[in-house]
Chains A and B, each alone.
Chain A
Amino acid sequence: MNGLAEKMKYWNPYLGGTLLGVLLFLSFFVTSHGLGASGGVNRIAVAVEDLVVPEHVDKTPYIAKLAGGDRDPLGHWLVWEVVGILLGGFASGLLRGRVRVQTYRGPQISNHSRWVYAFIGGTLMGYGARMARGCTSGQALSGGAVMSVGSWAFMFAVFAGGYGLAWFVRRLWQEA
């Protein structure tokens, strides 16, 4: 990556990983569960849906569980963790001057293309995360640390999917 990580002054990944591991442990120790992200995003999305189309929410079983009738999808720790993630990410970016409107992309494609691909990737991710009942934070990191077989299987599937497709979409990321 031609020194990209150094130029951006990102932490050594082993250091970041160790700190994250300690945080993950503390999370289990204090709260009995690990970290999570997609569940919080899920609930916020459902909450917005509930504002716009409440009758539909009541009728669809999967979302009714979260927001049907009187239920408040936002009254759950995952939502607060997501808010925290936003604040923490912002704080870190602010401290190092990385809060800047920008589009990260491979050199061969344009900003607009990148946005489209980001949207498509995001959609797949959102769908896949619900199917797997978690994302890399909730399932892979947290489930992995407490030895859940499903989480490990999930983790390897994610890597398999990514590596499997990588060569076919290299134009998105690689130099010419």
Chain B
Amino acid sequence: MILACGLLPLTADRSALTAQQASPAARVAKAVDPDVIRGHLLYLADDALEGRAPGTRGGDLAAKYVAAQFARLGLKPAGDDNGYLHRVLIVSLDPSPQASIVSGGREWPLEYERDYVMWSMHDDSVVSTGGDLVFAGYGIVAPEYGWNDYEGTDVKGKVVVVLVNTPGLRDSTLFRGKYLTYYGRWTYKIEEAERQGAAGLLMVHTTPTATYGWATVTGSWTGPQTRVARKSGPLVVAGWLSESASDRLLQPAGGLQRLAEAASRKGFRPVPLDARLGTTVRSAIQRSETYNVLGRRPGRGPKASEAVIIGGHYDHLGFGPAVNGDSVYNGAEDNASGTAAVLAAAEAFHRSGVTTARSIVFMAFAAEESGLLGSTAYAARPSIPLRNIAAVLNMDGMNLYGRARDIAALGLDQSTLGRAFTAAARAEGLRVSVNEDALIKGYFFRSDHFPLARVGVPAISLQKGLDIVGRPAGWGQQQEDEYTEHRYHQPDDEILDWFSYDGAAQQLRVIARTAVLVAEAPRQPKWAAGSEFREAGEARVR
């Protein structure tokens, strides 16, 4: 005992010495503790948290838990009013639209859900609009691909009709071929139509371009539509038009098939349709609020006002239809695990004592499952000026399957963050895998880093490595597939007995190292030359 007492301080000093000689990134990585991830996960994924739905007791408990942990770690409040919480105003509209098209002096009423679905882009209970219809191809303005579907046409006050996806679908030399760019997403079509000043937008549905059938459209875009409360812009309504209704509308101009072919060729110009849309959308409106949670570990020196965000969403689906008697959608992997990792990252920085030039901001995003609402609201009303946000490192679904030989992330090809991440992975002895499926399906556009990427903040989202140590080849993929098929968004997304926290700790060490590299770098990361977010990135720092 006495010997032990005598020896201990020495041992402690020696390790402190090595720690000081090690790089700051290595010191933070070393302080990552799997017990911390596990402890937070236990609480956040417990039935007591009721699935953490926004605006419910469970969601509230989770937000307060995160805030309490930030306070425990001495992080500075970085939300509203010198608190940890950043308010997210949510509006939910349940639309009942009426619409008709006047063409060649004849009016044909559209039948809701058979011919079209539509919703108000204004947070108002009744909106009406009408305007000349214009076919605008894929509705894309992409300077880096030399592409402008609105070239030479003023669509202000008009209703544009566009295809979803990109010309790359038909011609693999265009855009990124089969890899989805943001220009292909329906959200982009809406944003671009609004930028062009259009009053209405109709998206042509075909199963190949949308990658889902009309039933999915009527299933998803009818009933309450939840989004961040917004100021009204020029765009009044948006919606989908069925393939047959589209074909009928486009018939006088050559039909859907021929117009789609034309739209896939360089130099396409918008086609006026000699028809008008008239529509009224009544909506039942409900408003609610939820909170992002932010805490800052201050940087030192002149770059301290800049920040690297380490984030993950804390919300999940709450209570839902019972499956095998279980109605709590715990969201253990999605995304109690990522939230636990954000907290564990904050603890690792705290324990390491490392201070970086830029601040590190830890952030738990709200209402991701309702459509990235917390991150979208943050991008619209950031508590840190966007130009000062150097990067977002997002964690959505940690590896709970075991220590891996590899690691992955979305967005590595989009910006110089890819280099930092790859260097961090190498320092941890991990190979960086590329998930081609994620590129095809556009997963980059589906978690909370994305709304910030869209406004120009370089961003990546962590993914799992699936080459698990001590397991046969393919086992990791098999676990991933089983999760996707059986547990994803089900009450069974719970903590399983066999979960291991070493894999998550590995991932978190890489994220922590990446954060330090970025926070210490002389300059902020940059978007890649070919990235669709480069322009927004340049606009952001101007």
A and B form one complex: no
B residues near A (Cβ < 8 Å) are none
